[in-house]
Amino acid sequence: MRLITKATLLYLFIMSLVFSLGGIVTYNMVMKAVAKETDYSLAQNMYLLEDAIREGKPLDALQSSKTRITKVSTIQANDTVYHFSDTLAMHPYWKRLEPYRKMTITRKVDTAYYRFSMIDIFLETDDVSKGVISVMTRLFFGLGLILLLASFLISSWLFQPFQRTLQKIKSFNLKENNTITFEDTSTKEFNQLNGFISQMTEKAQRDYVSLKEFSENAAHEMQTPIAVAKGKLELLLEDDNLQESQLPLIQSAQAALSKLSRLGQSLSLLTKIENNEFTVKETTNFSEVVEQSVITFQDICELKGLALKSNIEKNVLLSINASVADILVSNLLKNAVRYNSTDGWVNISLNKKQLVIENPGHPPNVPTNQLFERFRKSNQSGASLGLGLAIVKKICEVNQLKVDYVYTEGVHRLIVKLP
Amino acid sequence: MKLLVIEDEKALADNIRSYLSTNEVICEVAQNYQEAVAKLNVYSYDVILLDIMLPDGNGLDILHYLKEEQSEAGILIISAKNSLDDRVAGLELGADDYLTKPFHLSELNARLKAIYRRRKFQGFTEIKFNEIAVDTNNHEVSIHDKQLELTVKEYELLLFFISNKNRVLTKQTIAEHLWGDNVDFLDSFDFVYQHIKNLRKKITAADGQDYIKTIYGLGYKFHNN
């Protein structure tokens, strides 16, 4: 939910509370005021009747449907106090019970005591509450409408700098070396936010660059000590005093060193592709690259007892660095050979739309799209480094190619969609 | 063969010297650019082994220097960077070959010998090992003067063995020599065994002696009993 929608809804909620409370208070105040006025007018009428009695008018002439005067001989102490109450009485014309205000009091007029009992029609509570509710709802809807309009108009203006900031963060790419710059806004909070984001992105970029340099240097620096260790082992092999049981130890140490060195090289290759060090775009005859790889792998497939079939369309041109294209194809072929079934086959086909490499094999243990992640292997203990497909993915990303891994009915299928 | 190793990492230079120094090879080491130039001024070498990254200068400068001096020495570049640009730059400046660290010493040995042969004899060279003769110019092998039909890989394998005669070669080393970078995904080295089996068969069928000795669990050794 948008912030402004949230705020508006909250306002509307508070408004409805305020207006209902306001309605109740208003109703009560109106009722009180009306009662006071009615009582006052009853008292005034009584004074007029007192004057009439003093003038000697007969009591019968003063009686009416609303007024009853009786002469009393004795009084109690509290009878001389005004006594007001609400009552229901028959309306003379409407012939139905209506709320009335009633006043009773005993007064001394000249020398005699008279008991006054007077009623007057009272404002109906229904009418009051109806009036209050109608006023309140009109106010509520009027204000609400204005609030909605205002909030949406203001938000588009007030939140403009915020939207711009969001847009900039969205288009920010750590790998591109351009910093984010913000224009000053008149809102303090947005300025703080922008300043904070600038600092953060700059730091992230600095860290990214140093990490990149570190991984590249580490991969290079690693190779010399590995070369030294490998050489020492080879010198050890020349020693005639070695026992036969010691030889496999040297062999496995050498194999581990080779793996370590390949790991370094693969990681440094990934970093290089990531750093766009192969951006020198050239038009490469992709068909030739694929054909060359097929020739290289023919031999290996024969040794592994795999049938390699290829169907390559001539002169498929691609805007890609030739050596990167070669790495792409050979990594895919390596994968197809490595995860093949015994006496299996490898199919490679290339046309202007796509490159497809297929091979039979065991179903992958993890979802196929996860196999493009670094060090993600179907068989964790296998001899592979788990970087081949990560390199494939990276090459595809950098060169605007799309790669998909599908496993259906016992066949692994890697599809590279050409642009 | 006189060899100059220009390498700043002393341990690596020592490895190379101990491995390569034989009756046929005299090996000297220079640990930096200055030392290398000083040596090159005074002596002449058949082959120079050059590390591109030196503490006091780029190894490519030495290539420039040798070019100016019109040196006839063969040059093999070793570098920790498996960078195409460096490789191309090196080869364009007259280097004969390029080897990426880490390398097998036997691989280095084979490459150095190949460079030496090309430089010294302008390619017209026949390597003889008893009854086996290898014509490296035409990639032909004959036993008892009878030509032997070998596949490309078998030829490479035989040449690698002869270049490293009397040395222990592990299956890994042989595989990397024959298949280069593509070897990393072959989980077993059975195919090395296949090639060696075929080579053996062909040599013995031509009445050649079987010089390939199997070292159990490790690899092979090509030697003359």
Segments of chain B assigned to CATH 3.40.50.2300: 2-121
User: Do the beta carbons of residue A119 and residue A101 sit within 8 Å?
Assistant: yes
Q: Pick from A223, A229, A383: which is nearest to B80 by CB?
A: A223
Q: List CB contacts (< 8 A) between A304 and chain B.
A: 186, 191
Query: What's the pLDDT score for residue B124?
Result: 64
Q: How far apart, in whole angstroms, are the C-alpha atoms of residue B143 and residue B202?
A: 10
* Average pLDDT score over chain A: 85
CB contacts of A300 in chain B (<8 Å) are 179, 182, 186, 191
CATH top-level class of A283-417: alpha beta
Band of residue B137 on the pLDDT scale cut at 50, 70, 90:
confident
Q: In chain A, which residue's Cα lies nearest the Cα of B105?
A: A231
**B2-121 has CATH 3.40.800.10 classification:** no
Tell me what percent of the residues of chain B surpass a pLDDT of 70: 92
Chain B residue nearest residue A262, CA to CA: B184
Q: Which of A69-78, A97-106, A406-415, B210-219 has the lowest mean pLDDT?
A: A69-78
Q: Which of A251, A261, A334 sits opposite B102 (nearest CB)?
A: A261
d(CA A386, CA A287): 27
- Which has the minimum average pLDDT: A8-17, A296-305, A328-337, A387-396? A296-305
Hey, of B218, B221, B223, which one would you mutate to test binding to chain A, going by the most A CBs within 10 A of its CB?
B218
User: Mean pLDDT for chain B?
Assistant: 86
Using alpha carbons only, give the angle B113, B175, A326 rounded to the nearest 5 degrees: 95
Contacts of A244 in chain B (CB under 8 A): 215-217
Residues of A within 8 A of B179 (CB-CB) are 300
By a Cβ cutoff of 8 Å, what residues of chain B touch chain A?
A: 9, 11-12, 15-16, 18-19, 80-82, 84, 100-106, 153, 167-168, 170-172, 176, 179, 182, 184-187, 190-191, 194, 215-219
Please give the CATH topology (third level) of the domain spanning B126-222: Arc Repressor Mutant, subunit A (1.10.10)
3-class DSSP assignment, residue A307: strand
Instruction: Determine whether the interchain pair A334/B185 forms a contact, defined as Cβ–Cβ distance below 8 Å.
Output: yes
In terms of average pLDDT, the best of A174-188, A285-299, A377-391 is A285-299
Q: Do A238 and B80 touch (CB under 8 A)?
A: no
Average pLDDT over residues A144-151: 88
State the pLDDT at residue A358: 93
Side chain identity, residue A363: P
- Please compute the mean of the pLDDT values over residues A59-78 and round it to a whole number: 80
Assign B44 to helix, strand or coil: coil
- DSSP reduced 3-state for A63: coil
Residues carrying CATH 1.10.10.10, chain B: 126-222
Nearest to A182 by CA among B39, A41, A192: A192
| A3-148 under CATH 3.30.450, yes or no | yes
**Which phi-psi region, left, alpha or beta, contains residue A9 (left: φ > 0; alpha: ψ -120 to 50)?**
alpha
Instruction: List, as own/partner pairs, every contact residues A361-367 make where C-beta atoms lie below 8 angstroms and the sequence separation is at least 24, other chains included.
Output: A361/A410, A361/A411, A361/A412, A363/A407, A363/A410, A364/A407, A364/A412
**To which residue do tokens 């169907």 refer?**
A311
Contact at CB, B104 and A234, closer than 8 angstroms? yes
B-interface mutation test, from A240, A258, A338, A378, most B Cβ less than 10 A away: A258
Domain ranges (residues) in chain A = 3-148, 163-277, 283-417
CA atoms within 13 A on the CB side of B99: 26
The answer to whether the Cβ–Cβ distance between B215 and A247 falls below 8 Å is yes
Is B218 in Cβ contact with A251 (below 8 Å)?
Answer: yes
Interchain pair B182, A248: CB under 8 A: no
Confidence band for B187, pLDDT divided at 50, 70 and 90: low
CB contact under 8 A, A234 and B19: yes
Q: What pLDDT does residue A354 have?
A: 93
Band (B84; pLDDT cuts 50, 70, 90): low
* ipTM of predicted assembly, 2 dp: 0.81
Tens digits of per-residue pLDDT, A87-114? Answer: 888 877 878 888 888 888 888 888 888 8
pLDDT recorded at residue B56: 82
Residue-wise pLDDT tens digits, B45-67: 999 999 888 888 778 888 888 88
What is the per-residue pLDDT for A29? 92
Asked if B217 lies within 8 A of A382 by C-beta distance, the reply is no
A107 — phi, psi (to 5°)?
-120, 155
How many contacts, defined by CB atoms under 8 Å, are there between A and B? 113
pLDDT confidence tier of residue A182, bands split at 50, 70 and 90:
confident
pLDDT for residue A203 is more than 80: yes
**Whole-angstrom distance, CA of residue B125 vs CA of residue B195:** 25
| Chain A residues with beta carbon closer than 8 angstroms to that of B110 | none
Question: Nearest CA to CA, how far is B69 from chain A (Å)?
Answer: 30
* Pairwise CB contact (< 8 Å): A384 & B185: yes
Whole-model pTM? 0.63
